[in-house]
Chain A
Amino acid sequence: MTQPILSLRNLTAAFPTEDGLKEVVRNISFDVAPGETVAIVGESGSGKSVTSLAIMGLLDKRARVSGQVLLDGRDLLGLPEKQMRQVRGNDIAMIFQEPMSSLNPVFPVGDQIAELLIRHGQVPRDQVAAEVLRLMDRVRIPNAHARIKDYPHQFSGGMRQRVMIAMALAARPRLLIADEPTTALDVTIQGQILDLIKEIQEEQGMAVLFITHDMGVVAEIADRTVVMFRGDHIETGATADLFTGATQPYTRALLAAVPRLGQMAGQDWPLRFPRVDMDSGTITAQPAVVDTVDRSATPVLSVRNLVTRFAAGSDLLGRPTGKVHAVEDLTFDLWQGETLSLVGESGCGKSTTGRSILRLVQPESGQVTLDGFDVLGAGPGDLRRMRRSGQMIFQDPFSSLNPRMTVGQTVAEPILTHKLVPRAQVRERAAELLAQVGLDGSMLDRYPHEFSGGQRQRVAIARVLGLNPKVIVADESVSALDVSIKAQVCNLLMDLQERLKIAYLFISHDMAVVERVSHRVAVMYLGEIVEIGPREAIFADPQHPYTKKLIAAVPIPDPARRGLRRAMQVDELKSPVRPIGFQPPKRDWRQVSDRHFVMV
């Protein structure tokens, strides 16, 4: 191997806690060669981000870092801050997960790129403007010369990440550290950004250290992969070798836990994820799901021509200048015991649909019948009773539980609100509910911050189970969880469905999970359902171009199939903002097969 550009030797980082120093990263050693892409992969808490921050010298002052971080043989750990600032940006550049918070909202993006160029002083003043334009072209921002004066909020998430990459490239770094750069982006945009990073790397011969939790992304981009687990370096290898013949049980477990698109061919019902033991790597298949749906019965949820619009912008008198057509003429049914997945990219209206159905936002028109309740016409009393039938689980288990209430209080709240059991038995019932989601009753008096993400999500599920709901809207409920935890929570949802005949409206952007858990799938684009049908039909025989694009964009966790994706053009989800008085066009539907419809 050629002389590596970056070498880590026994990097250890520890933070002082009340119980003494706690090592969050132990003895990490690996190399990155020029022009190479190395991925660090691991679940949350594995220490991958701490490793990258340690390389950049950006860890908190209190952190104790030992070992060596060699950049071209020079140890960065002992470097004074002033020299380190030279290294950052000039030799190593970094891009982060959330491009909005990394950009200054009050300056045009062009100025922000120019500032970097001037600070690094590699470009003569009179050529800065031309260089900014070149960089923006470089990261394929369409119409760059027109957008140079635009502010960060005028760019979409994907475009902002392109701006961040342009800024990272400003000083022509030899190493780019990318910390989960595509995690906050939609899957089609993620593909574009990955392609972009790869292209630029080839053009500039830059090395890339890519930090991610997503095995699909690893397979797509990395030459070599470093696997981390709870601060330890588990295994390093060429990505292709790792995927076919990992030596460590944890790596095998991690790979096995990844939901893969296309695993469900020939399956009639949703399928539980196999149980993967992260320590031993053993995989235990789980019992098959039985048929839970009776389509001869009346649907437990019927949505007819649902429309939800929000005011957008305002003129001088404060009147709205347009409307966001968040949900447009939506019609579908959901049967008891069935999982209907709503898929689509951010801004397509899938969350608003879920919230409209439970009347957490006020729809403009349409009809929703939930367990016999006319949701949109219900008065306060009926609405309150309806709450027992339709419930919601949120995405972020860190913001969906009141931090000031114990888990016991949280789980007991709905039972008390609806007076479902006598007050004296509430505690007992809360413990029972926790047991149903696989948590111990002794956790009742603990606060949410003492729980992990997966446990919190279980608490959130226990809370809504107290009401015996018929329909649960699960809004990206597993998206924020690590793969192994994601699988467990999905299995829990399927267990509950089997036992309690709950119907789920499963809102997700994760196609691989959707394929696993759904009976039917509805694809949303700009507030409308463009295709709806049985899960196997949607995945095996997608009809609408958008559905095809969505499925094609999912990164495949298999390095052998890298690059098989169609070259994607740079484009964005169009805006659902329409002028006041806009009449949406009448849509026609074509029936593809039994229960499979596509918008023409």
Chain B
Amino acid sequence: MTAIDMPAPRAKSRFWRKFRRNRAALVGGVIVAFFVLLAVAAPILPIADPLATSWTAIRLAPSAEYWLGSDEIGRDILSRMIWGAQASLMAGVISVAIAVMTGVPIGLIAGYFGGWTDTIISRFTDALLAMPFLIMAIALAAFLGPSLTNAMIAIGLSAMPIFIRLTRAQVMSVKTEDYVEGARAIGLGHLAIMRRYILPNIVPPIIVQATLTIATAIIAEASLSFLGLGQQAPAPSWGSMLNVAKNFLTQAPWMAWWPGAAIFLVVIGFNLIGDGLRDALDPREH
């Protein structure tokens, strides 16, 4: 369908201006950028080998030598945090991207066309939702074979039904608006109506859901790692570090502090970005 690219440059600059002006979103962006940089720069940073164990440094508290302490087999937690950022961020972002990119179009089709299409998709979604999120992710990951990539696909597909449901519900309310009927009346095709009239108007709740799901996905990756289905030991991820740390909460609480704090910060970062995106995309917000 022909898109109207005429005023697009202006719209884009307006978007960036609004996004930049939003301090909270900027803070979120800085947080996420910080962790992304760490993940990317891991190989060139002067840090210890994340896999090197040491019998002399088991569960040491943070000190000058081990800034963030060491874990139960004497590995440097700082190093593992930095190397683990990659796995965790990817698990969070890519699996949610998979969930959004599959769930939103399916939900859009179900909500827009209604009738039998909707009945079939909705029953299928209900069936998927009947299975607990984590159980389904585990089953899928086990089926696909153990690797980080497969874990991300498994988590993405398990999170998909939520997005189908959410999108469908939003579409059902937006499609009764007069402007959608007006678009039909001027002869626009279904695809153009969905893309230009419905999708932009249902984006806000999807963004909010997506940023929240990133947190769930990072934790889910941890559980899969724990079962040997995600990041393969001994390679680190925040989730797997947290999983191990829970056994030593009383003896070595720092083992849990750092990955926990990192997940918390990343989730806040993505939430702030999400809010900023939502506002910047809405022309009614100044």
Contacts and interface: CB of A to CB of B under 8 A. Distances in A.
Interface of A: 18, 355, 358, 360, 383-384, 387-388, 391-392, 394-396, 399-406, 408-409, 412-414, 416-419, 426-427, 444-445, 447, 449, 460, 463-464, 467
Nearest to A400: B178
A272 to B, nearest CB: 27
Contacts of B182: 392, 394, 400, 460, 463
A396 B6 CA distance: 27
Given A358-B185, A388-B187, A416-B2, 8 more contacts: A18-B286, A355-B181, A400-B179, A402-B183, A403-B283, A404-B282, A417-B186, A417-B187
Interface stretch (B19-27, B98-106, B195-203): B195-203
Given A399-B179, A408-B7, A447-B284, A417 B2 contact: yes
Given A388-B187, A406-B11, A444-B7, A401 B179 contact: yes
Contacts of B281: 404
B184 A360 contact: yes
B7 A406 contact: yes
B135 interface: no
A404 B4 CA distance: 13
Contacts of B200: 402, 404-405
A406 B282 CA distance: 12
B126 interface: no
Given A391-B186, A463-B186, A449 B284 contact: yes
Contacts of A427: 6-7
Contacts of B4: 409, 412-413, 416, 426
A426 B6 contact: yes
A320 B228 CA distance: 53
B49 interface: no
A467 B186 contact: yes
Nearest to A407: B7
Given A409-B4, A426-B4, A445-B7, A399 B177 contact: yes
A447 B184 CA distance: 21
14 contacts: A396-B178, A399-B177, A399-B178, A403-B284, A405-B200, A413-B196, A414-B187, A417-B1, A417-B187, A417-B192, A426-B6, A445-B7, A464-B186, A467-B186
Nearest to A394: B178
B196 A405 contact: yes
B188 A413 contact: yes
A2 B170 CA distance: 56
B283 A404 contact: yes
Interface residues of B, number: 28
Interface string B153-181: 00000000000000000000000011101
A388 B179 CA distance: 17
A413 B2 CA distance: 9
A463 to B, nearest CB: 7
B123 interface: no
A402 B283 contact: no
Nearest to A406: B7
A402 B182 CA distance: 9
- 6 tightest Cβ-Cβ pairs between the two chains A and B: A387-B187, A404-B200, A447-B283, A400-B178, A414-B186, A394-B178
Kindly name the residue among A387, A402, A414 whose own CB sees the greatest number of chain B CB atoms within 10 A.
A402
Interface string B1-45: 110101100110000000000000000000000000000000000
A396 B177 CA distance: 10
A385 to B, nearest CB: 8
B6 A412 contact: yes
Contacts of B10: 445
A403 B178 CA distance: 11
A360 B183 CA distance: 11
Contacts of B201: 402-404
A387 B196 CA distance: 19
Nearest to A384: B187
A408 B196 contact: no
A473 to B, nearest CB: 9
Contacts of B184: 360
Contacts of A18: 286
A391 B185 contact: yes
Given A387-B185, A388-B187, A417-B2, A402 B7 contact: no
Nearest to B286: A18
A383 B196 CA distance: 21
Contacts of A355: 181
A434 to B, nearest CB: 14
B6 A408 contact: yes
Interface in B245-286: 281-284, 286
Contacts of B185: 358, 360, 387, 391-392
Interface in B191-243: 192, 196-197, 200-201
B282 to A, nearest CB: 8
A400 B4 CA distance: 19
A44 to B, nearest CB: 18
Nearest to B182: A400
Nearest to B192: A417
B187 A409 contact: no
Given A406-B7, A409-B6, A445-B7, A360 B181 contact: yes
Nearest to A380: B189
A534 to B, nearest CB: 29
Nearest to B184: A360
A383 B200 CA distance: 26
Contacts of A447: 283-284
Contacts of B1: 417
A449 B285 CA distance: 10
A95 B200 CA distance: 37
Contact of A402 (B2, B187, B197, B282): B197
Nearest to B283: A447
B175 to A, nearest CB: 12
B187 A418 contact: yes
A467 B192 CA distance: 18
A143 B185 CA distance: 44
B179 A402 contact: yes
A463 B183 CA distance: 10
Interface in B131-147: none
B195 to A, nearest CB: 11
Nearest to B285: A449
Contacts of B192: 417
Contacts of B282: 404
Residue of B10, B182, B188 with most chain A CB atoms under a 10 A cut-off: B182
Nearest to A392: B185
A444 B4 CA distance: 13
A412 B186 CA distance: 11
Nearest to B200: A404
B224 to A, nearest CB: 38
A391 B188 CA distance: 13
Contacts of B197: 402
Nearest to A460: B182
A353 to B, nearest CB: 15
Contacts of A409: 4, 6-7
